[in-house]
Amino acid sequence: MTGKPLWVHILTGIGIVILLVVVFLQSLHLITRHDKTLTIPAVTGKSFAEARQILESKGFEVELQDSIYNDTAKPLSVLRQFPDAEALVKVNRTVYLTINKAIPPLIEMPNLEGLSFRSAEISMNQYGLKLEDTLYRTDFAKNSVLEQQYNGERIKAGTKVPQGSPIVLILGSGLGHEDFSVPDLVGLNYNDAKVLLESNGLNVGSVIPGIDPNAFVGRQSPEHMSPDGRVNRIRQGQSVDLWLQADKPVRLPAGEVPEPVEQ
């Protein structure tokens, strides 16, 4: 037994308990760093490896949230981060990153032919395609898409192409202002007739019964000559319909009427 009164021992015990509680709370505060915050650095545009190194060096966890494709960004670069840059967050907070794919995904080429130029632009943006160039061809369908091309060749709708591919659109420029004689195509094979039409700024219209490079033109519309013997006129951008046949038609001398076929 000591000579100190009981109340001294009680106060001493209470003081020790209070001291232990304070030390415990301070230790807990240091361990959890409850009010410790950091500013998230900006890593958008950096490579994933560099962004991860920067964030982890600052005490953040890093998690890959998603990968999408953007043809204007570098492969595997960070497109988005969450939380955003300059945000104040607690230590050990996880930062989620969205990166750019290294290889563009394949998509189906949409059908742009027949659309107006504006509608074609909207469709290309929706599919993630780029407009490389626009070329014009004489055609009555002014500013309408006559043909879609990829790598210099006409491309069919549904063909697989990489997202972000450059596409060339052939547009109609409208009808020409001057008219000229309808070319005489009867007796030519289909390919020669097509070349002659295109060289005059004309289009192949309907082909009956169907395109056959080895078939001959037996009839055309509009015809070269009118029934009264005058040469028909046509403007650039218009179309000529063709009727094909297997045998080359026999041309009769001018003014001669074919003999009637016996029934």
| H/E element, 189 | none
Residue 40 CB neighbours (<10 A): 19
CATH architecture of 106-172: 2-Layer Sandwich (3.30)
Question: What pLDDT is stored for residue 201 in this prediction?
Answer: 87
Residues 6+ apart with CB under 8 A from 57: none
Give the pair of three-digit tokens for residue 137.
Answer: 């061809």
The residue behind tokens 């056959």 is 212
Residue 11 identity: L
Mean pLDDT for the chain? 87
Torsion of Cα atoms, 28 then 30 then 34 then 39, to 10°? -160
Distance CA 18, CA 12 (A): 10
Domain 37-100 in CATH 1.10.238.10: no
26-30, 84-88, 233-237 — which is least confidently predicted? Answer: 26-30
**What's the CATH number for 179-245?**
3.30.10.20
The string of pLDDT tens digits covering residues 14-48 is: 878 888 877 766 665 555 555 577 889 999 999 99
From 42, 32, 43, select the one nearest 90 (Cα to Cα). Answer: 32
Domain with CATH 3.30.10.20 in the chain: 37-100, 106-172, 179-245
Pairing of strands 166-172, 130-142: parallel
Could you give the CA distance from residue 202 to residue 196 in angstroms, rounded to a whole number? 8
Query: What value does the mean pLDDT take over residues 252-260?
Result: 51
